[in-house]
C-alpha cells in the first residue's frame, strides 16, 4: 500500500492516477491519523469530515470521467486565516466567534479549481501575530520533532501538521517569517513567494504590505507545484502582479552550474547557535559541489530591520483590526451601555494580549506628533532596505542564510518577554520588508530538533530559490 504519514503530493497523484487508491480512501486515512494523533500536537483547530469527503468523492468522479487537475483529489490543510466558503475562519481569535466565511479566498478558489480537497483548518498565532503559535486563543500547538518545543509561528499549525505527517501539504501565510520559521522548526519546506506573486484576496489582513500566502510541504517539488497553482494576477487584489507564472517544477534540475550565491555577513552574527551555523555552512559547501559560485556580500541595513518591521507591521495592524468591533459579525460583548462601551468591552474580551499589544504600539506610532518620527522614518528605511537588496542581487542569483538564530524554543520559554521573541525574527523579516521571495529547506538537526536553511531570491525569481532548494534536498 502506502505510508500515509510520509506521502507527498507528487506520490499521492501518482497513486490516484494509477488507480492504486482513491481520493476518498486517502482522505479517510488522513482523517483517521488526525483523530488518533493530533491530540499530541494540536495542529488542527477543526476538521470538517463531511466537507472533505464530499470534495474527495467529487474528485474521484472527475478522475473516473477523464478530467484532469494539477491537484485532483489531494487533501490539503488550510491555515485558519484564509477564507473558505462555508467554513469557520477564526484567525486563532475569540473575536471571530461564530463567523462563517461566505466566499473563497483567491488562493483557495485556485486550489478548488485544481481539484484539491480541504481537509481542515490549522492552528495559528492570533491574527498571525507571533512566532510560536502560543498566542492562539484556543490551544498551544507542539513541535512534532520534540513536543516540549514550539512549532514556530504564526503558521505553526500548518507546519506541525505537515511535519507530523497529519497533512500531505498545507497553506500558510508569511508576514515576517510565518511560513519559513515554522517550516524550519518542524522539518518541512516553507515557501514565501514574492509580494504580489499570490493574491491576498480573502486572506484576513494583519499587515497588508507584508502578508503573503504560500505553501508548506514535504518536498521542494511539492512547493513548486502548489505555487504554480495559486500564483498569478487577480482582479480582486490590486497589489497582485501581472507577471507570467512559470512552470517551476520543470526547472528543478539539481544542477547549480552558473549560479552565484551570495553570503551576507550580517546574517552570521555572534549569538547564532553553533549547530545552526554549521548546518548553513554545510549547505553552502554542497552548493559549491553542485556547481555554484559563492560571493560574500554585505547588507548593512539589516541592523535596522527589526525596528523598521515592527513599526510598519503594528501600524498596519492597528488599522486592519479596527473592523472587529462587535457590530457586524463575530464576538459581541454583552451588557454594554453605548457604542463606545461596546467597542471597549468587545475588543478587551475578544483580542488576546499580544494582539492588543501590537494594536497599541501601532496606534502610538501613527498618532499625531509621532507619525513622522516613527512610521514615516520606518517607511524611508524600508525603501533603503529594498534598494540594498536590489543592488545585492545584481551580484548574485540568490542568497543563503540561517532561518532562525536558534534551533527552537521550549514552550513557555519566551513568555513575558515579547522583545526577545521579536528579535528572533531578524533573519526572516528582511524578505517581507524587501518584498522578495524566500524558502526554508530542512538540512540538519540539533539533538531531536530540525534546522532549516533559508534561500532568498530576487523579486519574482522563485525559480532560483526552488532550484537551489531542490538540489540541497537531494544532499
- Which of 101, 131, 154, 318 is catalytic? The answer is 154
Q: Are 117 and 9 in contact (CB under 8 A)?
A: no
Residue with cell 512547493: 223
- Which of 79, 110, 142, 192 is catalytic? The answer is 79
**CA–CA dist 39, 362 (Å, integer):** 36
- Which of 93, 131, 158, 178 is catalytic? The answer is 178
Burial label for 247, CB within 10 Å (0-12, 13-18, 19+), is exposed
Determine whether 79 is an active site residue.
yes
- Supply the DSSP string of 151-217, one letter for each residue: --SSSHHHHHHHHTTS-S-EEEE-SSSTTHHHHHHHTSEEEEPPTTTB--TTBPPSSTTT--EEEEE
**CA–CA dist 171, 76 (Å, integer):** 8
Rg, Å, the chain Cα set:
21
**CA–CA dist 399, 199 (Å, integer):** 25
**CA–CA dist 112, 118 (Å, integer):** 8
Those residues with Cβ within 8 angstroms of residue 426's Cβ, 6 or more apart along the chain or in another chain: 302, 305, 306, 405
Which grid cell is 125? 498565532
Closest CA to 182 of 216, 230, 205: 216
**CA–CA dist 256, 468 (Å, integer):** 7
Phi, psi of 455 (to 5 degrees): -120, 120
Determine whether 154 is an active site residue.
yes
Start-end of H helices in 366-450: 377-392, 418-423, 429-434
Q: Are 261 and 295 in contact (CB under 8 A)?
A: yes
**CA–CA dist 398, 381 (Å, integer):** 22
Catalytic residues: 79, 154, 178
Amino acid at each position: 500500500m502506502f505510508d500515509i504519514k510520509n506521502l507527498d503530493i507528487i506520490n499521492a497523484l501518482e497513486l490516484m492516477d494509477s488507480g492504486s487508491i482513491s481520493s476518498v480512501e486517502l482522505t479517510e486515512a488522513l482523517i483517521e491519523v488526525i483523530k488518533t494523533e493530533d491530540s499530541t500536537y494540536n495542529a488542527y483547530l477543526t476538521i470538517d469530515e463531511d466537507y472533505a469527503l464530499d470534495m474527495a468523492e467529487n474528485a474521484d468522479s472527475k478522475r473516473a470521467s477523464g478530467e484532469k487537475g494539477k491537484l485532483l483529489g489531494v487533501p490539503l490543510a488550510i491555515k485558519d486565516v484564509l477564507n473558505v466558503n462555508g467554513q469557520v475562519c477564526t484567525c486563532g481569535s475569540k473575536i471571530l466567534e461564530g463567523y462563517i466565511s461566505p466566499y473563497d479566498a483567491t488562493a483557495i478558489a485556485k486550489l478548488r479549481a485544481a481539484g484539491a480537497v480541504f481537509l481542515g483548518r490549522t492552528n495559528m498565532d492570533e491574527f498571525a501575530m507571533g512566532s510560536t503559535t502560543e498566542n492562539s486563543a484556543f490551544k498551544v500547538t507542539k513541535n512534532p520533532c520534540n513536543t516540549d518545543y514550539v512549532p514556530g509561528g504564526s503558521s505553526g499549525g500548518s507546519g506541525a501538521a505537515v511535519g507530523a505527517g497529519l497533512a500531505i501539504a498545507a497553506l500558510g501565510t508569511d508576514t515576517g517569517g510565518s511560513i519559513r520559521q515554522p517550516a524550519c522548526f518542524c522539518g518541512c519546506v516553507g515557501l514565501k513567494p514574492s509580494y504580489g506573486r499570490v493574491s491576498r484576496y480573502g486572506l484576513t489582513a494583519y499587515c497588508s504590505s507584508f502578508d503573503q500566502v504560500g505553501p508548506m510541504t514535504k518536498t521542494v517539488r511539492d512547493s513548486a507545484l502548489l505555487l504554480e497553482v495559486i500564483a498569478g494576477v487577480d482582479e480582486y487584489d490590486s497589489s497582485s502582479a501581472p507577471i507570467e507564472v512559470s512552470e517551476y517544477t520543470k526547472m528543478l534540475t539539481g544542477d547549480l552550474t552558473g549560479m552565484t550565491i551570495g553570503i551576507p555577513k550580517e546574517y552570521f552574527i555572534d549569538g547564532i547557535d553553533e549547530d545552526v551555523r554549521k548546518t548553513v555552512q554545510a549547505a553552502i559547501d554542497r552548493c559549491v559541489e553542485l556547481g555554484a559560485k559563492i560571493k560574500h556580500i554585505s547588507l548593512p541595513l539589516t541592523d535596522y530591520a527589526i525596528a523598521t518591521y515592527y513599526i510598519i507591521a503594528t501600524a498596519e495592524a492597528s488599522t486592519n483590526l479596527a473592523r472587529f468591533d462587535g457590530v457586524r459579525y463575530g464576538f459581541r460583548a454583552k451588557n454594554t451601555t453605548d457604542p463606545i462601551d461596546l467597542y471597549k468591552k468587545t475588543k478587551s474580551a475578544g483580542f488576546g494580549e499580544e494582539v492588543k499589544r501590537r494594536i497599541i504600539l501601532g496606534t502610538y506610532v501613527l498618532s499625531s506628533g509621532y507619525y513622522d518620527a516613527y512610521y514615516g522614518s520606518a517607511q524611508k528605511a524600508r525603501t533603503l532596505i529594498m534598494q540594498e537588496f536590489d543592488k545585492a542581487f545584481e551580484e548574485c542569483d540568490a542568497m543563503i542564510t540561517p532561518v532562525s538564530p536558534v534551533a527552537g524554543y521550549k514552550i513557555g520559554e519566551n513568555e513575558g518577554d515579547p522583545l526577545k521573541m521579536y528579535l528572533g525574527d531578524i533573519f526572516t523579516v528582511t524578505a517581507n520588508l524587501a518584498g522578495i521571495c524566500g524558502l526554508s529547506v530542512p538540512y540538519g538537526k540539533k539533538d531531536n530538533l530540525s534546522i532549516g536553511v533559508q534561500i532568498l531570491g530576487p523579486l519574482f525569481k522563485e525559480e532560483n530559490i526552488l532550484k537551489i532548494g531542490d538540489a540541497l534536498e537531494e544532499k
